[in-house]
């Protein structure tokens, strides 16, 4: 590589590493694996070493990645929170030891001891205590300036608010989410159709860097302390001694800390951690080798970015070949049908892998997966097994293509993939896999509004086989409900009354409760008003539905498909038998003063809630919308109206105040 090529490649690597670092540190949304990023950094570092004339202080080899997020108060670290020099082989570990031994000899130090610790895969934070009381916490940021996340750190249960000694101390730790908690979080997010966290590290970072500490409090964050940054009134000779003292103070100290008499013992400790990492409850991305003698550390000093007295050994991702024996489909609580790979069992990173998710139809096509293929497996972030690629050279011609099912594998209802979505869903309202979520929605306030029938009670009813479908709600007996709670007589009577009241709800609430895709509260009211009865709605054709304002072809198709399902027809029949109202109770208003008019509400109103104002507009034949366009008739602007008001002004839409709205109602 000549100088021109080297300069071009260095510039290219700087742009790439800066981009990926921003995604990783600032946005908590990594786009490549840690190993891929590390390899880019190694290449950049080697090129800058070979061509020092192109070295720059702006390169990530010379500074810590990460910036302060907007909205957080800045904290200047008295002692910088530095990064670590990564190494990828024992040869590099031994080179590190040679440099340390040379410095030791020059300074008359006879023996160098090391401490080897796990490199926890999380987000670094500094905790500051005054007289033993927690006063401030901050993220690492760029190493010199971090984010004040004190309130968020107070929600982490393993951070002591008061120490066992009234001392002024600043410590450094790693905030993380355990493997088990991470898996449960992602499982819950998948069930709720939320974007999955890429890995535990970014889940922890995203959770800690929330502007609302209430969100952080809901996340299962933990912390291990691994260093004293600053301490008043005490001195220590060794790092290991320091860690023991931190433990006595009440800190949750990194549990894997192995004292080593020489580099050979340190290498054995690295190997031991590598062998045992699968059994650790927390994720790691390496092992850290540290000089134990604190006075010698001061002599060794630091570069701008890293201390000279430590290195981080990074374990390479382990990959193994195995056979993709089959692809089966599972149905989640929301009806999403997910393909799962059934594998010939293979041991990867210490655990036996026999199955893994294939995410969706697009993933299978992108990887060109066939049943019978030889595939390469690796564990992403030491937690989630994934198929990396197909070994196409090992195909025999006997491999079979896989097609996603056209019907739900659990209940047999139609399975659909809508335009713009990757997921395929079951449309069956009585599908056992979806039953819990369907029940929760059916009884919710905006739907049938059955007070007292919350998620916990629904789960108990399902566990005791007292409910097997939605219609069973109306067959519940007083004694069945009373048995769910100690002294549950009053609770049972209240719930029985609430169930009975729900039978008299307007048709619009029943339509909402059915959970037809794309049909919310507003569309349900519109459909109830137009069709008057459930029977009429069930007979509605695609053509007539698609001609209704705010319905359109996608929603119309969803409605027609829903009412063509045998499960839907069966449920409606059962609800009719139970005495649930199937008619619109809304009386036709003779006053249609707002007919053909569309209102957009913005800001806070004094005399009306938005719901009340919307209901009045609809009562007089008008419509409400969430977006401003040229077709908008009026924008009703309250206090602190935002971008919608600005857009209305730009488009020349009529803007009215709450007083003017009241005058329109009183005319």
Write down which residue in 578, 610, 633 finishes a domain.
578
pLDDT at 590 over 80: no
CATH number, domain at 149?
3.30.470.30
pLDDT at 549 over 80: no
What residues have CB less than 8 Å from 254, skipping those under 6 apart?
Answer: 117, 118, 120, 174, 224, 225, 226, 243
Write down which residue in 549, 578, 607 finishes a domain.
578
Q: What is the mean pLDDT of residues 87-102?
A: 95
Does some domain include residue 414? no
CATH number, domain at 627?
3.40.50.10190
Q: What is the pLDDT of residue 185?
A: 86
What residues have CB less than 8 Å from 495, skipping those under 6 apart?
Answer: 450, 451, 452, 453, 457, 476, 481
Does some domain include residue 401? no
Q: How many domains does the chain have?
A: 5
Does some domain include residue 538? yes
The per-residue pLDDT of the chain, averaged, comes to 89
Work out the burial of residue 371: count CB atoms within 10 Å of its CB; fewer than 13 is exposed, 13-18 middle, 19 or more buried.
middle
Q: What is the mean pLDDT of residues 163-172?
A: 96
C-alpha–C-alpha distance, residues 117 and 129, integer Å: 24
Does some domain include residue 279? yes
Does some domain include residue 212? yes
Do 301 and 351 fall into the same domain? no
Do 644 and 533 fall into the same domain? no
Percent of the chain predicted with pLDDT > 90? 55
Do 191 and 281 fall into the same domain? yes
Q: pLDDT band for position 130 (50/70/90)?
A: very high
Does some domain include residue 380? yes
Do 497 and 550 fall into the same domain? yes
Are 35 and 317 in contact by the 8 Å Cβ rule? The answer is yes
CATH number, domain at 42?
1.10.287.610
CATH number, domain at 369?
2.40.50.140
pTM: 0.56
Q: Which domain holds residue 45?
A: 3-54
Are 345 and 368 in contact by the 8 Å Cβ rule? The answer is no
Do 374 and 434 fall into the same domain? no
Do 151 and 276 fall into the same domain? yes
Do 136 and 27 fall into the same domain? no
pLDDT at 32 over 80: no
450-478 tens-digit pLDDT: 999 988 899 999 999 999 999 999 999 99
Which residues is 565 bridged to in the sheet?
none
Dig out the tokens for 473 from the structure.
């709600």
Do 224 and 93 fall into the same domain? yes
pLDDT at 329 over 70: yes
C-alpha–C-alpha distance, residues 661 and 607, integer Å: 11
Q: What is the pLDDT of residue 84?
A: 92
pLDDT at 319 over 60: yes
Do 175 and 252 fall into the same domain? yes
Do 455 and 543 fall into the same domain? yes
Q: What is the pLDDT of residue 129?
A: 97
Catalytic residues: 119
Q: Nearest Cα to 511, choosing from 550, 541, 537?
A: 537
Does some domain include residue 13? yes
CA angle 650, 656, 658 (to 5 degrees): 140
Does some domain include residue 61? no
Write down which residue in 290, 313, 336 finishes a domain.
313
Q: Nearest Cα to 333, choosing from 220, 223, 438?
A: 438
Q: pLDDT band for position 588 (50/70/90)?
A: low
Q: Nearest Cα to 658, choosing from 637, 640, 641?
A: 637
Do 368 and 510 fall into the same domain? no
Q: What is the pLDDT of residue 70?
A: 61
Do 101 and 28 fall into the same domain? no
271-314 tens-digit pLDDT: 999 888 878 889 888 999 999 999 999 999 998 889 999 999 99
């Amino acid at each position: 590589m000549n100088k021109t090529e080297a300069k071009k490649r260095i510039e290219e690597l700087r742009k790439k590493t800066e981009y990926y670092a921003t995604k990783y540190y600032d946005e908590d949304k990594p786009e490549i694996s840690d190993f891929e990023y590390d390899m880019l950094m190694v290449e950049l570092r080697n090129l800058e070493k070979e061509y020092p004339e192109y070295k720059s202080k702006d390169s990530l080899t010379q500074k810590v990645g990460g910036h302060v997020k907007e909205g957080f108060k800045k904290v200047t670290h008295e002692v910088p929170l530095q990064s670590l020099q990564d190494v990828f082989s024992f040869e590099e570990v031994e080179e590190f030891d040679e440099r340390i031994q040379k410095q030791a000899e020059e300074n008359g130090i006879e023996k160098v001891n090391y401490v080897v610790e796990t490199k926890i895969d999380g987000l670094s934070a500094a905790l500051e205590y005054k007289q033993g009381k927690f006063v401030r916490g901050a993220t690492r940021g760029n190493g010199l300036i971090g984010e004040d996340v004190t309130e968020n750190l107070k929600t982490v249960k393993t951070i002591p608010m008061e120490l066992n000694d009234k001392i002024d101390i600043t410590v450094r730790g790693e905030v993380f989410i355990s493997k088990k908690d991470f898996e449960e979080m992602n499982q819950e997010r998948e069930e709720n159709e939320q974007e999955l966290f890429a890995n535990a590290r970014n889940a922890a970072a995203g959770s800690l860097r929330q502007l609302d500490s209430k969100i952080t409090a809901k996340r299962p964050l933990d912390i291990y302390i691994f260093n004293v940054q600053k301490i008043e009134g005490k001195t220590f000779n060794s790092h290991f001694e320091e860690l023991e003292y931190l433990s006595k103070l009440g800190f949750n100290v990194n549990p894997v800390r192995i004292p080593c008499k020489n580099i050979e013992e340190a290498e054995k400790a690295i190997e031991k951690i590598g062998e045992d990492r699968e059994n650790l409850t927390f994720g790691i991305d390496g092992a850290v080798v540290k000089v134990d003698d604190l006075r010698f550390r001061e002599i060794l000093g630091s570069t701008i970015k890293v201390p000279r007295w430590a290195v981080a050994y990074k374990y390479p991702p382990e990959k193994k070949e195995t056979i993709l024996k089959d692809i089966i489909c599972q149905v989640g609580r929301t009806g999403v049908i997910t393909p799962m790979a059934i594998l010939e069992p293979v041991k990867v990173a210490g655990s036996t892998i026999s199955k893994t998710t294939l995410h969706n139809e697009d993933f299978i096509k992108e990887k060109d997966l066939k049943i019978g293929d030889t595939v390469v497996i690796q564990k992403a972030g030491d937690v989630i097994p994934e198929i990396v690629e197909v070994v196409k050279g090992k195909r025999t011609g006997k491999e079979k293509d896989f097609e996603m099912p056209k019907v739900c594998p659990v209940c047999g209802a139609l399975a659909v993939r809508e335009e713009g979505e990757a997921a395929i869903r079951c449309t069956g309202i009585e599908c056992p896999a979806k039953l819990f979520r369907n029940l929760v929605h059916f009884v919710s306030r905006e739907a049938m509004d059955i007070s007292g029938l919350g998620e916990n009670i629904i789960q108990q009813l399902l566990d005791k086989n007292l409910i097997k479908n939605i219609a069973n709600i109306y067959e519940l007996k007083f004694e069945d409900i009373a048995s769910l709670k100690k002294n549950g007589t009053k609770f049972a009577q209240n719930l029985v009354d609430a169930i009975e009241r729900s039978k008299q709800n307007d048709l619009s609430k029943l339509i909402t409760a059915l959970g037809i895709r794309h049909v919310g509260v507003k569309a349900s009211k519109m459909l109830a008003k137009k069709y008057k009865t459930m029977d009429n709605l069930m007979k509605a054709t695609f053509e007539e539905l698609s001609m209704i304002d705010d319905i359109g072809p996608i929603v119309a198709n969803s409605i027609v498909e829903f009412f063509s399902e045998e499960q839907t027809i069966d449920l409606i029949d059962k609800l009719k038998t139970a005495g649930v109202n199937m008619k619109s109770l809304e009386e036709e208003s003779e006053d249609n003063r707002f007919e053909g008019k569309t209102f957009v509400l913005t800001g806070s109103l004094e005399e009306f809630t938005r719901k009340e104002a919307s209901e009045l507009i609809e009562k007089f034949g008008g419509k409400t919308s969430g977006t401003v366009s040229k077709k908008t008739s009026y924008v009703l602007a309250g206090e602190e109206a935002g971008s919608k008001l600005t857009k209305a002004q730009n488009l020349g839409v009529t803007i009215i105040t709450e007083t003017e709205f009241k005058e329109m109602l009183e005319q």
